[in-house]
Amino acid sequence: MAYLKPSWFTKKFNSAIARPNIAEKLTVTRRLSGEPQQVAVTTVDVNGVKYLVSTRGESQWVKNIRANPNITLTVKGESTAYTATEVPVDERAPIIAAFKSKLGKLVVGRYFAKLPDAVDHPTFALAARH
């Protein structure tokens, strides 16, 4: 599966916006160490379901979710536990379209230009855990 490695600047920028109250923050369990991994993300709601879309392809957070689908999403300091379920490739188009529309071409256009196929954008439906 394809992966677009972020630049040094992008890594630093994402670390800065992942701070509390700035962006949505995904927390997953690293599959090898068991330690938490935190990543700035943007979710999209489609038909009442919250989704995560990987713009860069098969990133580490994607691999970690596949190994352990129990994740936490923190928004404005409020954390919610979810179970993530990967969406089949043939069902991703409307979710990816909504995601691209929400973020705009300037933000994500270059990722989808380099990886235009839905198979290269792992997508996860999030179900709240109680």
CA distance 71 to 19: 17
| Residue 24 in tokens | 């949505």
Give per-residue pLDDT as tens, 79-100. 999 999 999 999 999 999 999 8
Per-residue model confidence as pLDDT tens digits over 42-64: 999 999 999 999 988 899 999 99
Nearest Cα residue to 74 out of 35, 26, 29: 26
Residue 50: inside a domain: yes
Crossing angle between the packed helical segments 93-103 and 105-114, to the nearest 10 degrees: 140
The CATH number that applies at residue 100 is: 2.30.110.10
pTM value surpassing 0.85: no
What local confidence, expressed as pLDDT, does residue 52 receive?
97
19 vs 79, higher pLDDT: 79
- pLDDT score recorded for residue 51: 98
Give strand pairing partners of 81. Answer: 72
- Within-domain flag for 69: yes
Range of the domain at 106: 8-128
Total domains present in the chain: 1
- How does pLDDT run across 102-112, given as a tens digit for each residue? 988 767 788 88
- With a CB cutoff of 8 Å and minimum separation 6, the contacts of 43 are 24, 50, 51, 52, 73, 126
Residue 1 lies in a domain: no
